[in-house]
Chains A and B, each alone.
Chain A
Amino acid sequence: AQSVTQLDSQVPVFEEAPVELRCNYSSSVSVYLFWYVQYPNQGLQLLLKYLSGSTLVKGINGFEAEFNKSQTSFHLRKPSVHISDTAEYFCAVSEREESNFGNEKLTFGTGTRLTIIP
């Protein structure tokens, strides 16, 4: 069964500084990987996803993530954060199985709360 670990529950960062939010996963098969963002008092929305191909994935709002199969990681990065990036970020994984296509379950990490310090 798949699992996701986000070790950092909270990350404070100064405005315009770079940030990295860590995500590690566990699975016995190939996976799809996602980052979702939750702004205050809202539902989650997709930030970016890795399906296959290039290991560097670019998403919305200047975020990018790199898939590292050997380290089973999918860390999220942004070179310069803004106040508007204050949110909770969730890493998620689903397993790639042809037999389960269309019915894959997403497993979410526990989330990382990003706080931007002016």
Chain B
Amino acid sequence: NAGVTQTPKFQVLKTGQSMTLQCAQDMNHEYMSWYRQDPGMGLRLIHYSVGAGITDQGEVPNGYNVSRSTTEDFPLRLLSAAPSQTSVYFCASSNQRFGTANSPLHFGNGTRLTVT
């Protein structure tokens, strides 16, 4: 009964370092997405995927890369971290076939990233 699992829970990076935030879901959901949550700005969509091999940009994609080689996994890569990327990152999934109305987003517990 895992749902959406994100690792790590916390991470501190130095400016210029790279890292990958992991996201896995066991619900066979086709739709997966990454959001960042910042104070006073709510959740903003970074990238999303409607199925294996298909990805697209969201509202704030710059500085992030994604890939979707399997239905279960949707990693988010920071190639060269910047202080502006300090945030809480959430992965979410849903059953895309039924649309947002009938298949709400299931969220992981988040990764808190600090870039110094």
Is the CB–CB distance between B104 and A46 below 8 Å? yes
Main secondary structure of the interface of A (DSSP, over half): loop
Is the CB–CB distance between A103 and B50 below 8 Å? yes
Q: How far is the CA of A46 from the CA of B104 in the complex (A)?
A: 7
Q: How far is the CA of A94 from the CA of B58 in the complex (A)?
A: 14
With A103-B96, A104-B99 known as contacts, the answer to whether A43 contacts B109 (CB < 8 A) is yes
Q: Is B14 an interface residue (CB 8 A)?
A: no
With A41-B109, A46-B105 known as contacts, the answer to whether A104 contacts B43 (CB < 8 A) is no
Q: How far is the CA of A43 from the CA of B43 in the complex (A)?
A: 11
Residues of A near B105 (CB, < 8 A) are 36, 44, 46, 106
Residues of A near B106 (CB, < 8 A) are 45
Is the CB–CB distance between B101 and A9 below 8 Å? no
What range describes how many residues of A lie at the interface?
20 to 34
Q: Is A71 an interface residue (CB 8 A)?
A: no
With A90-B42, A110-B41 known as contacts, the answer to whether A101 contacts B107 (CB < 8 A) is no
Closest Cβ of chain A to B96, distance in Å, is 5
Is the CB–CB distance between B42 and A102 below 8 Å? no
Q: How far is the CA of A109 from the CA of B40 in the complex (A)?
A: 9
Is the CB–CB distance between A90 and B50 below 8 Å? no
Q: How far is the CA of A102 from the CA of B49 in the complex (A)?
A: 12
A-B contact pairs, 26 of them (CB 8 A): A9-B40, A32-B101, A41-B110, A42-B110, A43-B4, A43-B90, A43-B107, A43-B108, A44-B105, A46-B104, A49-B104, A51-B102, A94-B101, A101-B99, A102-B31, A102-B50, A102-B96, A103-B96, A104-B99, A104-B100, A104-B101, A106-B45, A106-B100, A108-B42, A108-B43, A111-B42
The 10 residue pairs across chains A and B that have the minimum distance between CB atoms:
A43-B107, A46-B104, A110-B42, A104-B100, A108-B43, A108-B42, A94-B100, A44-B107, A102-B99, A32-B101
B residues near A (Cβ < 8 Å) are 4, 31, 35, 40-45, 48, 50, 58, 90, 92, 96-102, 104-110
